[in-house]
């Protein structure tokens, strides 16, 4: 009976999520077509804020949906000084697709709309892929190491995509979101990497460095977000059926070193080493923070 109720609740909630997505994406697509047909700066300045407000309303409705499903209150720290009218570079550990819903619910209307770097294949996801395209989410191509060795010029594709995306982000307040681990954490990946961290995979510096190089001086700060699931990492279905368990989120605002905004990560080996050391320190502190959160959750 418990499994049956969870199935019925999950089916109902996914139906509501789909209807909410279609409702908000309809005006989103209409405005995106106008922007595509009239590719002028003045049109973008008029339409882009409206598109972001539609997306923010969409996320707000999703937040209500999640709140109704959650049996456990979320423990969230660090929201006090955030501003919705500034630019942020947001970095978070990555455990599950649920992370995105958590980040959107916690940060919505507290900072500008989160814009993610997405894999090129995700543009083909029905409805939502077109919505990401309409909102100027950058789609990145992933090349194998063998392909990069054969054709090093392929590295320039992602750099150019990042540069173009950040040029658009500079027009209105935006939060650029990255998962520095580059993939979702699993124990198998953790062992395969021989990761020195207890709760994290090794960070990849490339996407962070490219975003900083493209528009670093515009970012107000780096938001370092740590997510922990004390009852186990939930799947999307567990979230939809009210079985996600407890969620803990810690946010800290870090200053961005000024020279990180002007140095070239790809051509400057000295800066590359400095950036790796800085990110390694951030990652050590994040690993310790997650350990502290899990220890707190384990207390009676």
The Cα–Cα gap between 231 and 234 comes to 8
Give the model confidence (pLDDT) of 17-37 as tens digits.
999 999 999 999 999 889 888
Give the model confidence (pLDDT) of 211-247 as tens digits.
887 777 788 899 999 999 999 999 999 999 999 999 9
Residue 285 Cα to chain centre, angstroms? 20
Q: What is the mean pLDDT of the chain?
A: 88
Q: What is the mean pLDDT of residues 192-209?
A: 91
Close Cβ partners of 251 (under 8 Å, ≥ 6 residues apart) = 76, 77, 78, 79, 82, 106, 223, 224, 225, 226
Q: Using a pLDDT cut of 70, give the percent of the chain over it.
A: 94
Kindly report whether the global pTM for this prediction surpasses the value 0.85.
yes
Axis-axis angle for helices 41-69, 2-37 (nearest 10): 170
CATH number at residue 284: 3.40.1130
The Cα–Cα gap between 54 and 60 comes to 10
Q: Using a pLDDT cut of 90, give the percent of the chain over it.
A: 52
Q: What is the mean pLDDT of residues 45-63?
A: 93
Max intra-chain CA distance, the chain: 62
In this predicted structure, what is the pLDDT of residue 253?
A: 95
Number of domains in the chain: 1
Answer yes or no: is pLDDT of 165 > 80.
no
| Residue-number span of the structural domain to which 190 is assigned | 2-298
Answer yes or no: is pLDDT of 101 > 90.
yes
Give the model confidence (pLDDT) of 240-287 as tens digits.
999 999 999 999 999 988 888 888 887 888 888 999 999 999 999 999
In this predicted structure, what is the pLDDT of residue 148?
A: 61
In this predicted structure, what is the pLDDT of residue 69?
A: 86
Give the model confidence (pLDDT) of 113-156 as tens digits.
998 877 777 778 888 888 888 888 877 766 566 666 677 666 66
In this predicted structure, what is the pLDDT of residue 84?
A: 92
């Amino acid at each position: 009976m418990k499994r049956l109720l969870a199935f019925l609740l999950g089916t109902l909630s996914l139906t509501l999520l789909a209807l909410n997505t279609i409702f908000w994406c309809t005006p989103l697509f209409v405005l995106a077509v106008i922007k595509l047909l009239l590719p002028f700066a003045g049109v973008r300045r008029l339409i882009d804020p409206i598109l972001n407000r539609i997306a923010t309303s969409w996320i707000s409705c999703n937040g209500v949906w999640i709140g109704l499903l959650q049996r456990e209150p979320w423990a969230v720290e660090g929201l006090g000084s955030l501003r919705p009218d500034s630019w942020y570079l947001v970095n978070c550990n990555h455990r599950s697709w649920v992370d995105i819903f958590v980040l959107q619910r916690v940060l919505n209307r507290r900072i500008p709309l989160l814009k993610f770097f997405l894999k090129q294949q995700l543009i083909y996801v029905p409805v939502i892929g077109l919505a990401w395209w309409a909102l100027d989410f950058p789609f990145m191509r992933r090349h194998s190491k063998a392909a990069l060795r054969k054709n090093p010029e392929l590295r320039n594709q992602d750099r150019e995509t990042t540069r173009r995306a950040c040029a658009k982000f500079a027009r209105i307040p935006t939060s650029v979101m990255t998962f520095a681990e580059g993939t979702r954490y699993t124990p198998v990946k953790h062992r395969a990497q021989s990761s020195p961290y207890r709760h994290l995979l090794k960070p990849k510096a490339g996407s962070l460095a490219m975003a900083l190089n493209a528009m670093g001086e515009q970012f107000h700060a780096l938001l370092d977000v740590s997510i922990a699931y004390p009852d186990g990492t939930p799947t999307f279905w567990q979230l939809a059926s009210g079985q996600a368990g407890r969620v803990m989120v810690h946010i800290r605002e870090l200053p961005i070193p000024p020279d990180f905004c002007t140095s070239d990560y790809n051509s400057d080996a000295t800066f590359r080493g400095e950036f790796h050391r800085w990110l390694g320190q951030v990652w050590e502190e994040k690993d310790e923070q997650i350990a502290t959160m899990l220890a707190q959750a384990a207390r009676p």
